[in-house]
Amino acid sequence: MSSLEPQNAQLHARFTRALDDLIAEVRDDRSILAAALCGSLSHDLVWKHSDIDLGLITIDDKKIESGHISLNADGLNVHAFLVPRAEFRRMVEGSIRNSFTHSLLAKGRLLYTHDESIARLYDDLRVIGARDTVVQLFRSASHALAPLYKVHKFFVTRGDLHYTTLWLLHTATPLAQIEVLNAGLLVDREVIPQAMKLNPDFFRIIYTDLLDKKRTRVSIAAAIEAVDDYLRSRARTLFAPLLDYLREMGDARSVTELDSYFNKKFGIESASGACEYLADLGLIQKVSISSQLTRRSNLSVQELAFVHVEEQGR
Amino acid sequence: MTARKTAKPATSSGVSRSMTAKKTANTATSNGAPRTTIAVEGARVHNLKNISVEIPRDKLVVVTGLSGSGKSSLAFDTIYAEGQRRYMESLSSYAKRFVAQVAKPDVDFVYGLSPVISIEQKTTGNNPRSTVGTMTDVASYLNLLFATIAEPHCPRSGEIVPSRSSSQILESILSLPEGTEIELRAPAFPLYGEELEVVFAETRKKGCRRVIIDGKTVDLSQEVDIDESKVRHMDAIVDRFEVTRKKEKSIKAAVAGTLLVGDGLIRIEILKSANKSVAQKFYVGNTSHTHHFVYGDVAPEFFQFNNPEAACRTCGGLGVDKLTHPDLLVPDPQRSIIGGCFVKEAFRYNPDTWDGHIMYSLSRELKFSLDTPWKELPESARAAILFGLEQRRISISAPPDAKVKRDERVGHTVMFHGIARRIERNYRRYRQRGEADSRMEAWLDKVMVEHTCPDCRGSRLRATRLLFTIHGKTVHDVGQMNFDELLAFLATVKPAGRGADAGRHVLKEIEGRVRLLLGIGLDYLSFNRRSGTLSGGESQRIRLSTQIGSGLMGMLYVLDEPSIGLHPKDNVKMIATLRQLRDIGNTVIVVEHDEDTIRAADHIVEMGPGPGVHGGRVVVEGSIDRIMKCATSPTGQFLSGKRAIAVPAKRRRGNGNTLSIRGARENNLKSISVDLPLGTLIAVTGASGSGKSTLINDILYKALWKQLVDTRTLPGEFDELKGGEFVQKVVNIDQSPIGRNSRSNPATYIGFYDTIRDLFTEAPLSVEREYKAGRFSFNVKGGRCEECQGEGTITTQLYFMPDVEVTCSACKSARFNSETLEVTVRGKTIDDILKMSVEEAAGFFSKEPALQKKIAVLNELGLGYLTLGQSATTLSGGEAQRIKIATELSKLQHARHTLYILDEPTTGLHLADVERLLESLNRLVNAGHTVLLIEHNVDVIKTADYVIDLGPEGGHAGGTVVAQGTPEQIARVRASHTGRFLKPHIEVRK
């Protein structure tokens, strides 16, 4: 690796020079208020096939619309996205912290601005609110459940270690997001290396060992158990919005209703998968309520529903 | 104009007349002189007998005649259809694809046609977004008026708030000294029935992370711990700037963005300025004093309830919300919960389901039995089952009859929000989240009733729209005013200030339109009235006023009975309106039976002499004098007084029983009470909009229907119905079609077609071939012609040309296949029978008494000209109504007292037809039943045994009982408009 370092330094210098030259030109364009560097060059390593991701914040003008343009800077590809200031403000303020948009901007850096309000908005990107973290944890945990279901299915029904491993690896990204979110950090696109620094033992079992070591029924079972434990022990926190909602409602809610509510409110699809998981853990109860199959149905069927029951006296 | 005594039949002489007329028409055009007539040559539409007629242009022309004599065939299906068709022909092929094409009427030619507009008696459908205001376009003018001159108020303090364009707001900001720091905020309002969190989520989606709640800044990305009940004011922080000309475009975009978030309101806060007086001066000149608000870019659509951005967010601009109704949820209160007292989609007890567990647990908690009939359950239990237990939790118990034991739940507690609340929640989700395909929708309608929306209270608009007032009235208040009140109100409005000039112009437009509506007797209506609640006559008059408002000349208007639904006192206004339409240079052709309108006409065309096959010719045409002198004209006979509907020598007193409604107060009814003597002919009269239909259709009919047929029926508001036990059956005989497709006909509707089919199955050939009754049905495979599937015709759809309907080549319109047609009864095939007129059939079936009786009734009601298989779609409303009466007469049951209700049964009927109708209605009364008519026709009212006159006027000024009694008693009541018009008729009798 060490022999690569001088090459990387050279490459990095080339990218930086190209960017500087480009920015020197753009700075004089009166329709561009600010430039922000995003992507690898801002916070990671570049290689020969890297490009430069550049955000250009334009003046607000009815003749200027948001869009993308691919530029060439000293032979390097620059993918620039143009966004008027008002739209940029909406992106910054409206995006949930640690969502893709937020992460893209927050990991970057402001190269220059002619408008101090843009610098202020950029500074605000560093603030990660607790409410947003709760939402992102719920989202990541929900994303981990679907592959985890496949893990169990293929391990139990077929004993297919390869396929089970593939689905276990699918759980690694959302689990890494949970780890990073819990640490109050910005979630990177390459989140697993980030999480490995925070919880090396866990990610060794469910990620590196699965890739590096011989896969046996015992090692796979250990990885599955680790994932199960990880989620089970954090379930009340990870699925807090869902548990709070059902607790507050107090009576049974159909899957249609739950999916509709969480999709509308948090943009999370298939909250019902999380409900199944929580019911398996005994945190909520799986029940059913009457429903009709079609608008013209002349009889009722029982639709899957969930309810939060409390022990008497609580 | 050439007046003719009669039109001759379609013989050689008819052709020669046609040639003469063509010559006249051609001469007129070749002279270059303007054409003074509309000449119809060789019209053969429906029953028209190849007639030719010339109608003077720029005159008020009435086409009259018996029901089914061919009036509409001439006016609508020939003159209007041809005018419309020729206009359509002028369109490009591309445009024709989007417009329903009109087939060429069966007529040789029509000369002298103008652009033609037909104003029929169609109701405007039931689109809840259509109102009188939207129909007449006045709603748009009112919105414009409010956007121009209304005074906006602060949503918090009620003080006046300036309204500016966004450019003006920008200029005011830029007028601040450079370096002044400002923050643009947008007020955020709680959503009805939703937690604040929903507002927070929406605000965030609009790009605002921080809100100021009662002075405290809250970051929405953080956990918000707040007592929602104590929140008073919320502002979202949208943007912040240091004022400088360089940032003009950014500030402009931010102002626009803030107005979007703030629903038209922006709050400008100066955070830092050179000195206090700068800020003070800015606020005084540009914003409201207390909260520094300003309205921006308020345009007419700001007040438009059909605009999603302005519509109430709870009801979506409908003004009504739906709530479950216990009577609909529990159609059979005699049953217990286990016995299935609820609508099955709402709840059905099953001990193995969660709902079953909860219901059982609830019964244990509240100590009631699931076997007790619903109506015997304590009120508190019924309320809890439907509407829940608020915050109280119930302990889960397992029903003893559950097959699957789920002990893990037992002993835990859960909340219960009620069956009705769950349905309402689903409904709100469906509506607010636009889940149009929700499978819940269909049955939700079955158990829910409309209520005024609790959020907008019926105004259909968001609360911020109601902060704009003119003389203290909101756009909704103005829309609620009756037209007479509205005109008086508009007269008091004197626009001043910025939008004064534009405001005066808009006011003039509105006043003009309101005057037109007042001129045709619609003073009791308001612009907020839903179009679906208007009668056909009211809709027609509104459309008429719109036409007059257009001020076009040289047009040809064709109207269908504009007098329908009008009290004689308002009919005068209608006639004046028709004259006005003529006087501005239009030709007005009116199909009408009303005596006053006929007398007001410049030219009259009487079709006839009889109905159906006996009609289709011009009996007489010309002036009123000419008509009255014509001995063969039934109209002339009535107009000249040679023939009249007789006033009965003696009024019936009834059977001694009385049906009474107490405290009726639906719509404009002012808690009135009326008594209906049973066993009599009763007329309910009164000005249009006085409350007749509300009292009879919405209260009396529905209350009896609920009592006798369907307990889920919800009548209008009233206290008590007394004497309901004396009525065993209630029948509403309206003018709706007897069937919606061509396969329905009088024989199938009355039910004697089955008997006819039985006769055919008994024919020797049928017996030999083992044909069953189904063989003689054109609705099922077997005996019918499969080429046309029993229709007799085949319709080919063409893209930009009218559909072409041709006689089926296989059966030649016989509708049955050749094997079926081999079977005959007394020499007639089933096709021959269906094509037989009622008159013929009465003789043909004289040996089958059951059949003969039913057919004879049709004949007696003047429907002898109809064929037994005549398609329901070709029958007029009057004909359909008489077929329904015939059905009732043919199955008269003396033992069961029946109340027959008829709403304006004289619609479409000539006086000669009215005479026959009355005869048949009197047969029902003489058989011991009660007939109740809602009627304006004085010739009918005078024959009633008892009259209930409502009014005195329509709308707010109506809704009381002006008089009750015999026509003679009514005529003596000075306050009664009906009495005034009745008096001369009663005096004639004396």
Closest CA to A138 of A193, A200, A93, A182: A182
Per-residue pLDDT, A38: 93
Q: Is B374 exposed, middle or buried (0-12, 13-18, 19+ CB in 10 A)?
A: buried
Decide which of A43 and B12 is more confident.
Answer: A43
- Contact criterion met (CB < 8 Å) for A86 and B204: no
Angle at B534 between CA B532 and CA B535, to 5 degrees: 120
Q: How far does CA A265 lie from the centroid of its chain?
A: 17
Q: Which residues of B touch A292 (CB under 8 A)?
A: 345, 439-440, 443
Most confident of B291-300, B686-695, B784-793: B291-300
Q: Distance between CA A120 and CA A97 in Å, rounded?
A: 16
Q: Decide if pLDDT at B880 tops 60.
A: yes
Phi, psi of B209 (to 5 degrees): -95, -25
Average pLDDT over residues B128-157: 94
- Contact criterion met (CB < 8 Å) for A131 and B220: yes
Q: Distance between CA B236 and CA B316 in Å, rounded?
A: 24
Range in B323-337, B345-359, B871-885 with the lowest mean pLDDT: B871-885
Contact B959, B690 (CB under 8 A): yes
Counting DSSP H helices and E strands in chain B, the numbers are 37, 33
Question: According to DSSP H, which parts of B859-966 are helical?
Answer: 877-890, 911-926, 938-941
Give the pLDDT confidence of B366-386 residue by residue, as tens digits: 999 999 999 999 999 999 999
Q: Does B609 sit behind a cis peptide bond, omega within 30 degrees of 0 on the bond before it?
A: yes
- A301 close contact with B: CB closer than 8 A: no
Per-residue pLDDT, B26: 44
Q: Decide if pLDDT at B31 tops 80.
A: no
Q: Is beta strand B234-242 parallel, antiparallel or unpaired with respect to B293-296?
A: unpaired
Q: Distance between CA B914 and CA B654 in Å, rounded?
A: 23
- Quick one: tokens of A239? 């699925």
- Contact criterion met (CB < 8 Å) for A131 and B413: no
| Other residues' Cβ atoms within 10 Å of the Cβ of residue B415 | 22
Size of interface A-B (CB pairs under 8 A): 146
Per-residue pLDDT, B799: 63
Q: Which residues of B touch A289 (CB under 8 A)?
A: 353-355, 422
Nearest chain B Cα distance for residue A189, angstroms: 21
Contact B340, B491 (CB under 8 A): no
B207 pLDDT band, cuts 50/70/90, is very high
Q: Distance between CA B582 and CA B562 in Å, rounded?
A: 15
Per-residue pLDDT, B155: 95
- Contact criterion met (CB < 8 Å) for B440 and A292: yes
Q: Decide if pLDDT at B1 tops 70.
A: no
| Other residues' Cβ atoms within 10 Å of the Cβ of residue B192 | 16
- Quick one: tokens of B294? 């300003």
Give the pLDDT confidence of B409-455 residue by residue, as tens digits: 788 899 999 999 988 887 877 766 555 445 556 677 788 888 899 99
Supply the pTM of this predicted model: 0.82
Average pLDDT over residues B791-810: 78
Per-residue pLDDT, B25: 44
Angle at B233 between CA B231 and CA B235, to 5 degrees: 125
What's the mean pLDDT when you consider all of chain B?
Answer: 89
Average pLDDT over residues B812-826: 93
Q: Distance between CA B388 and CA B416 in Å, rounded?
A: 5
Q: Decide if pLDDT at B5 tops 60.
A: no
Q: Distance between CA B928 and CA B936 in Å, rounded?
A: 25
Contact B160, B151 (CB under 8 A): yes
Average pLDDT over residues B484-498: 93
Which of helix, strand or coil describes residue B947?
A: strand
Residue numbers of chain A with a pLDDT score lower than 70? 1-6, 292, 294-299, 313-314
Q: Does B952 sit behind a cis peptide bond, omega within 30 degrees of 0 on the bond before it?
A: yes
Per-residue pLDDT, B7: 32
Bridge partners of residue B900, in order along the sequence: B731, B931
- Contact criterion met (CB < 8 Å) for A290 and B223: no
Which of helix, strand or coil describes residue A264?
A: helix
Per-residue pLDDT, B512: 92
Q: Distance between CA B65 and CA B84 in Å, rounded?
A: 24
Give the pLDDT confidence of A241-279 residue by residue, as tens digits: 999 999 999 999 999 889 988 887 888 887 889 999 999
Q: How far does CA B179 lie from the centroid of its chain?
A: 61
Per-residue pLDDT, B92: 86
Bridge partners of residue B894, in order along the sequence: none
- Contact criterion met (CB < 8 Å) for A314 and B209: no
- Contact criterion met (CB < 8 Å) for B209 and A128: no
Per-residue pLDDT, B32: 66
Q: Distance between CA A292 and CA B444 in Å, rounded?
A: 11
Rounded to the nearest 10 degrees, the angle between the axes of helix B568-583 and helix B500-519 is 120
Point out the residue among B208, B345, B441 whose CB comes nearest to the CB of A93: B208
Q: E strands, B433-476, where?
A: 448-452, 468-469
Q: Which residues of B touch A124 (CB under 8 A)?
A: 209
B605 pLDDT band, cuts 50/70/90, is very high
B17 pLDDT band, cuts 50/70/90, is very low
Length of chain A: 314
Average pLDDT over residues B927-951: 95
Q: Which residues of B touch A97 (CB under 8 A)?
A: 221
Q: Which residues contact B772 (CB under 8 A, 6 or more apart)?
A: B761
- Quick one: tokens of B760? 């055919």
- Quick one: tokens of B204? 């965030």
- A248 close contact with B: CB closer than 8 A: no
Q: Which residues of A touch B204 (CB under 8 A)?
A: 93-94, 96
Q: Distance between CA B140 and CA B138 in Å, rounded?
A: 5
Q: Distance between CA B582 and CA B62 in Å, rounded?
A: 13
Q: Which residues of A touch B436 (CB under 8 A)?
A: none
Per-residue pLDDT, A225: 97
Point out the residue among A115, A131, A295 whose CB comes nearest to the CB of B223: A131
- Contact criterion met (CB < 8 Å) for A310 and B414: yes
Sheet holding B181-188, edge to edge: B163-164, B293-296, B265-272, B181-188, B234-242, B210-213, B216-219
CB proximity under 8 Å: A 87-146 to B: 89-91, 93-94, 96-97, 115-117, 120, 124, 127-132, 134
- Per-residue 3-state assignment (H helix, E strand, C coil) for B109-130: EEECCCCEEEECCCCCCCCCCC
Q: Which residues of B touch A311 (CB under 8 A)?
A: 411-413
| One-letter amino acid for residue A79 of the chain | H
Point out the residue among B210, B253, B354 whose CB comes nearest to the CB of A86: B253
Q: Decide if pLDDT at B834 tops 80.
A: yes
Point out the residue among A89, A291, A294 whose CB comes nearest to the CB of B207: A89
Q: Decide if pLDDT at B23 tops 70.
A: no
Q: Is beta strand B617-622 parallel, antiparallel or unpaired with respect to B603-608?
A: antiparallel
Average pLDDT over residues B774-797: 89
Q: What b/e readout covers B250-273, taking b as 16+ CB neighbours within 10 angstroms?
A: bbbbbbbbbbbbbbbbbbbbbeeb
- A252 close contact with B: CB closer than 8 A: yes
| Minimum CA–CA partner of B346 in chain A | A290
- Quick one: tokens of A295? 């608008």
| Minimum CA–CA partner of B211 in chain A | A93
Q: Which residues of B touch A130 (CB under 8 A)?
A: 221-223
Give the pLDDT confidence of B715-734 residue by residue, as tens digits: 999 999 999 999 999 999 88
| Minimum CA–CA partner of B394 in chain A | A312
Per-residue pLDDT, A2: 46
Per-residue pLDDT, B587: 96
Q: What b/e readout covers A47-67, taking b as 16+ CB neighbours within 10 angstroms?
A: eeebbbbbbbbbbbeeebeee
Question: According to DSSP H, which parts of chain A are helical?
Answer: 4-26, 40-43, 85-94, 100-106, 116-124, 130-157, 161-182, 191-198, 200-203, 209-212, 217-238, 240-249, 255-266, 271-281
